[in-house]
Structure 1
Amino acid sequence: MNELSVTKPYQRRRRFSREFKAQIVAKCLEPGASVSRIALDNGLNANMVRRWMSEAQRADKTPGFVPVKLPAATSAPSNPSVSDKRSTIRIEIPRPRRCGCSGVACGAGPSMCCFAPGPVGMIRIDEIWLATEPLDMRAGPDKALARVIQVFGSARPHCAYLFANKRGNRMKVLIHDGLGIW
């Protein structure tokens, strides 16, 4: 028996220069141009040319941030009053020890604690920036921080950066408190 072996010629993946891609994309963006016709005329696959077009559009859009206007800052009361029973919040703490509400005994009992109402200053935020491009919610804080660094050069202290997903129904917040990232 004679065996016939047919070998395919080695097909190398073609590489195209950025200039060539830009030239093809520019032709495709002209009014009335057919992407398939331009691709066929240049010996290219139309899907590849469409991918080049979408990559060129994405490259034009650099991710940015828009500042969010904050209302005037209100300072937390330095000496919160716990005398008004209607203005306190009670939280059960499963520890058999006395409460230390700002150095004033609240008389709530060994398993209760009182907190004064109003804003409690934990992390100072001077600016809030809203991302203009969506962020994949599976991304961790390192990817969000990379986007902040790409735009600003570094994370600014006392700033919050808000990221939304593509649908706009979920948000991720990255906060730099001057010491680290939250």
Structure 2
Amino acid sequence: MDTVGGSNNRKGRPNYPAEFKHRLATAACEPGVSVSKLAQQHGLNANMLFKWRRDLRAGLLTEPGPQSAQLLPVVVQSTPTLPALSGTMASARVIEIVIADAVVRVSTGADAALLQLVLNSLRT
């Protein structure tokens, strides 16, 4: 297995293909495999391979290819129709996002940049 690295917009930091990450993370999960030695054989920092292995086990590092696209379950809960609500309550809409053990509730007027930061931090 050769190390495959591509260039990225960031200086000096390779952007490894998803297939490469998945292959090494899967190999690192095999019994008796030394993650440090595997990383060294491929010119990687062991911490990076440990992170890829953690991501694989958490379901965040999926096998690339046409089968990698997957639909997530969505639950739509209807709320009972209430008589006329005051202006503030009528505009208070909430979206609830569940990622693993985390629940993020987003209400009307939430800052998009902050929401993106929160969701990205939950993925890593």
**TM-score interval w.r.t. the shorter chain?**
0.3 to 0.5
Q: Which has the higher helix share?
A: 2
TM-score normalised by structure 2 residue count: 0.43
Q: Which has the higher strand share?
A: 1
Flag the structure with larger Rg: 1
TM-score normalised by structure 1 residue count: 0.31
